């Protein structure tokens, strides 16, 4: 790069001696007219003329920039939080660093440090096409419900898409009887007894008893269109978090139901009061 510039300086000097205007020189060399002016003035002012100016110009250019060293303590904090918080994202790591260590490095720097130790997934594309989903402008307006298969144990899940409050029921069967039990449980202890809209998929666990009684707890029950998981985006997102941060992708036996229920209840406390949520401005759903 420096050699290319030195060649241009030499050509500029020769053309100027041939009485070519600075504007034409700049146009021919593909540089700004003011740059040509500074070169020619430097050559004129230097005691050794062109040769002296070119030597001075070469020495003034910096070599390759030394990469800035990152504090190893910061690296250790970031890696510890990543593992402690179940592989959480950079924004959540930034939240915990500010809360626990009173520092707030850029999210890009956090990901740069994470890449040294972990394989980071590609960034989600915000402009992907999405189908219509119910909107919520206040709490208890829209609740999405779904279920997860864990072998001999099934998880019924629900989320208020405005507040991000959630509820979970583990059951030994994927039936409408347990779907109805989850409806009663979630409405009594989490969603204040009544909401405007409850949305589910068309699975059998949300038919029969569930469908018969759901009208007691909402103004409207909507069934999401098949093969349109984006219509259930909030509960699908929570289901991924439940697998990733609590139950994983294992297949469980009915004999483990009580232990797993205790584990899920502990996770709900952590989710509501400790874990920051991107959709809530990096605060937990029920932060004190």
pLDDT in tens, 9-21: 888 888 888 888 9
Q: What is the pLDDT of residue 122?
A: 60
CB 21 within 8 A of CB 61: no
Q: For 231-263, how does the pLDDT look when each residue is reduced to its tens digit (9 = 90+)?
A: 899 999 999 999 999 999 999 999 999 999 999
Q: What is the pLDDT of residue 135?
A: 86
d(CA 282, CA 277) in angstroms, rounded, equals 5
CB 132 within 8 A of CB 217: no
Name residues whose C-beta falls within 8 Å of residue 159's C-beta, 6 or more positions apart in sequence: 143, 144, 165, 166, 234, 235, 238
d(CA 129, CA 108) in angstroms, rounded, equals 26
Q: How confident is the model at residue 3 (pLDDT cuts 50, 70, 90)?
A: low
Tokens for 204, please give them: 């059998």
The residue that leads in pLDDT, 286 or 130, is 286
Torsion of CA 93, 99, 100, 104, to 10 degrees: 60
Q: How confident is the model at residue 30 (pLDDT cuts 50, 70, 90)?
A: confident
Burial class (CB in 10 A: 0-12, 13-18, 19+), 175: middle
Average pLDDT over residues 74-85: 92
43-47, 184-188, 242-246, range with the lowest pLDDT: 43-47
DSSP state for residue 167 in the 8-state scheme: E
Reply yes or no on whether the pLDDT at 174 is more than 60.
yes
Distances (CA, A) of 245 to 79, 83, 94, 99, 242: 16, 11, 18, 21, 5
Reply yes or no on whether the pLDDT at 125 is more than 60.
no
Q: What is the pLDDT of residue 191?
A: 95
In 3-state terms, what secondary structure has residue 78? helix
Q: What is the pLDDT of residue 131?
A: 47
Q: What is the pLDDT of residue 61?
A: 67
Tokens for 253, please give them: 């036996």
DSSP state for residue 277 in the 8-state scheme: B
For a pLDDT cut of 70, what percent of the chain falls above it? 91
Residues in the chain: 288
The DSSP line for 45-63 is HSTTHHHHHHHHHHHHS--
Q: How confident is the model at residue 288 (pLDDT cuts 50, 70, 90)?
A: low
Task: Tell me the torsion sign for CA atoms 188, 192, 193, 194.
Answer: negative
> Within its chain, how far is the Cα of 6 from the centroid?
46
Question: Smallest Cα–Cα separation from 110: which of 86, 74, 144, 136?
Answer: 74
d(CA 3, CA 8) in angstroms, rounded, equals 9
Average pLDDT of the chain to the nearest whole number: 89
- For helices 2-17 and 22-29, angle between their N-to-C axes, nearest 10 degrees: 150
Q: For 46-69, how does the pLDDT look when each residue is reduced to its tens digit (9 = 90+)?
A: 888 888 888 888 877 666 666 667
Reply yes or no on whether the pLDDT at 196 is more than 90.
yes
Distances (CA, A) of 115 to 71, 111, 119, 134, 178: 15, 6, 6, 37, 43
DSSP state for residue 215 in the 8-state scheme: G
Reply yes or no on whether the pLDDT at 162 is more than 80.
yes
Alpha helices of 173-254 — where are they, by DSSP H?
176-189, 209-213, 233-242
């Amino acid at each position: 790069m420096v050699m290319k510039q030195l060649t241009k300086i030499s050509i500029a000097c020769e053309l100027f001696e041939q009485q070519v205007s600075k504007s034409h020189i700049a146009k021919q060399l593909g540089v700004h007219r003011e740059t040509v002016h500074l070169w020619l003035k430097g050559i004129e002012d230097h005691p050794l003329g062109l040769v002296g100016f070119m030597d001075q110009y070469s020495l003034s250019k910096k070599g390759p920039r030394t990469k800035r060293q990152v504090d190893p303590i910061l690296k250790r904090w970031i890696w510890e939080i990543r593992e402690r918080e179940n592989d959480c994202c950079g924004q959540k790591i930034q939240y915990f660093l500010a809360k626990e260590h009173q520092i707030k490095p850029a999210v890009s720097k956090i990901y740069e440090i994470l890449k040294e130790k972990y394989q980071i997934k590609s960034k989600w594309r915000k402009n992907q096409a999405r189908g219509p989903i119910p909107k919520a402008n206040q709490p208890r307006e829209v609740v999405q419900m779904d279920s997860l298969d864990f072998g001999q144990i099934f998880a019924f899940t629900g989320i208020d898409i405005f507040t991000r409050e959630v509820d979970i029921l583990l059951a030994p069967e994927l039936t409408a009887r347990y779907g109805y039990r989850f409806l009663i449980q979630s409405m009594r202890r989490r969603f204040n007894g009544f909401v405007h809209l409850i949305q589910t998929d068309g699975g059998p666990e949300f038919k029969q008893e569930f469908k018969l009684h759901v009208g007691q707890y909402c103004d409207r029950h909507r069934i999401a269109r098949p093969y349109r998981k984006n219509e259930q985006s909030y509960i699908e997102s929570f289901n991924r978090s439940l697998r990733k941060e609590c139950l994983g992708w294992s297949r469980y036996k009915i004999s483990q139901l009580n232990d797993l229920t205790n584990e899920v209840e502990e996770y709900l406390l952590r989710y509501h009061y400790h874990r920051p949520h991107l959709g809530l401005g990096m605060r937990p759903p029920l932060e004190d």
